[in-house]
Structure 1
Amino acid sequence: MGILVLGLVLFLGVHSVRIVADGWRTQTLARMGEMPWKGLYSLVSGVGLALIVWGYGLARQQPVVLWVPPIGMRHAAALLTLIAFVLLAATYVPRNALKARLHHPMVLGVKVWALAHLLSNGNLADVLLFGSFLLWAVLSFRAARQRDRAQGTVYAAGSSAGTAVALVVGLVAWAGFAFWGHAWLIGVAPLGR
């Protein structure tokens, strides 16, 4: 479990700099330069992610069961992850109404993804992993909205075409992951296949 925790500290720690020390981040970025900052950020993120994957895999070999979720939570999780995939797509599809309205759809997608997995998994490693990401997403969203208000950020209006593309891309990506990718990468078929 220690490897998982270390990975979470590194990965979420580096992703939390804007939440807890935005001024320091700005000064350090100016002092180091953009490319060295991004290189260091990417290196720490990559090491953290690798440790999360490794630590979670080790923890799954000897699960500590905290509770057994009802079977119906698997269906709720599938629906919630569909929403998370649509929000993720809305992050990158230009001029869609979801981004225009929500402003930070990726962070909201992480919230929904983490909540879905907390509802459908009851092992200690699951609670650590998904609970940490949920807490990070809540704090990150709040900090991002505060920055938007302080800077007077205005988001471009969405179009019907952009929104439709975000919905279709999110749905197709979700279907591919739910029916094939999750079992292949994680070893669990979320839709019970």
Structure 2
Amino acid sequence: MEALILGLLLFLGTHSIGLVARPWRNHMVNRLGETPWKLLYTVVSLVGFILIIWGYGQARAEPMWLWQSPVWTRHLAALLTLPAFILLVAAYVPGNRLKARVGHPMVLGVKFWAIAHLISNGTLADLLLFGGFLGWAVVAFIVLRRRDRADGKVPVVGGFSRDVITWVVGLVAWAAFALYLHGILIGVRPFG
């Protein structure tokens, strides 16, 4: 469990620097240079990510149950991850209306992903992992939306094709992951 907690602190901590310590981050970028800062950021995030995977795997081997979720919550969770995938794709397709509407679709997608997994998983490790990401995403979304308003950020909207690409790629990615890849990579088949 210690590896999971340390991984969450490193991963979510690095992803929070720009949210809670923007002046310090800018100072470090100026001091180190942009490329060394990004390299350091990436290494710390990657170490955190690896610790999360390793620590969560260890915790799954000897689960500490807090609650038992009914079987139907797996199907609900699988459906709730559909908007998470569409929002993830929206973060990378420039000019789509979904991104213009929500501002930070990846962070909103993390919320959907975390809630979906909290509904269907009831161990202490699940609460730490998915609850940690949910708490981070809630705070990040609020901070980033306020920052956008303060900066007077105006979203750019492109053509309708960008929306179609966002939704179709998100749906296909979700289907591939929910029906096939989740079972291979995670060991749990949401619909099987």
**Structure 1 residue 95, shift from structure 2 partner:** 1.6
Q: Quick one: percent identity of the two aligned structures?
A: 59
In the alignment, the residues of structure 2 paired with residue 75 and residue 20 of structure 1 have an alpha-carbon distance, to the nearest angstrom, of: 36
Q: Tell me if 1:184 matches 2:184.
A: yes
**Structure 1 residue 158, shift from structure 2 partner:** 4.4
In the alignment, the residues of structure 2 paired with residue 191 and residue 35 of structure 1 have an alpha-carbon distance, to the nearest angstrom, of: 43
In the alignment, the residues of structure 1 paired with residue 105 and residue 158 of structure 2 have an alpha-carbon distance, to the nearest angstrom, of: 13
User: What stretches of structure 1 move > 2 A for 4+ residues in a row?
Assistant: none
Alignment match, 1:28:
28
SS of 1:88's equivalent in the other structure is helix
Q: Letter of the aligned partner of 2:63 in structure 1?
A: P
RMSD of aligned Cα (Å): 0.9
**Structure 1 residue 143, shift from structure 2 partner:** 1.1
Q: Letter of the aligned partner of 2:184 in structure 1?
A: W
1:87 and 1:105 in contact (8 A); partners too: yes
Q: Tell me if 1:83 matches 2:83.
A: yes
In the alignment, the residues of structure 2 paired with residue 168 and residue 154 of structure 1 have an alpha-carbon distance, to the nearest angstrom, of: 25
Q: Letter of the aligned partner of 1:90 in structure 2?
A: A
In the alignment, the residues of structure 1 paired with residue 142 and residue 185 of structure 2 have an alpha-carbon distance, to the nearest angstrom, of: 31
- List runs of 5+ in structure 1 lacking aligned partners: none
Aligned residues: 192
**Structure 1 residue 159, shift from structure 2 partner:** 3.1
SS of 1:190's equivalent in the other structure is coil
Q: How does 1:1-150 map to 2 (within 5 A)?
A: 1-150=1-150
Q: How does 1:162-173 map to 2 (within 5 A)?
A: 162-173=162-173
TM-score normalised by length of structure 1: 0.97
1:89 and 1:169 in contact (8 A); partners too: yes
Q: Letter of the aligned partner of 1:189 in structure 2?
A: R
**Structure 1 residue 21, shift from structure 2 partner:** 0.6
**Structure 1 residue 40, shift from structure 2 partner:** 0.2
SS of 2:179's equivalent in the other structure is helix
SS of 2:91's equivalent in the other structure is helix
In the alignment, the residues of structure 2 paired with residue 123 and residue 159 of structure 1 have an alpha-carbon distance, to the nearest angstrom, of: 45
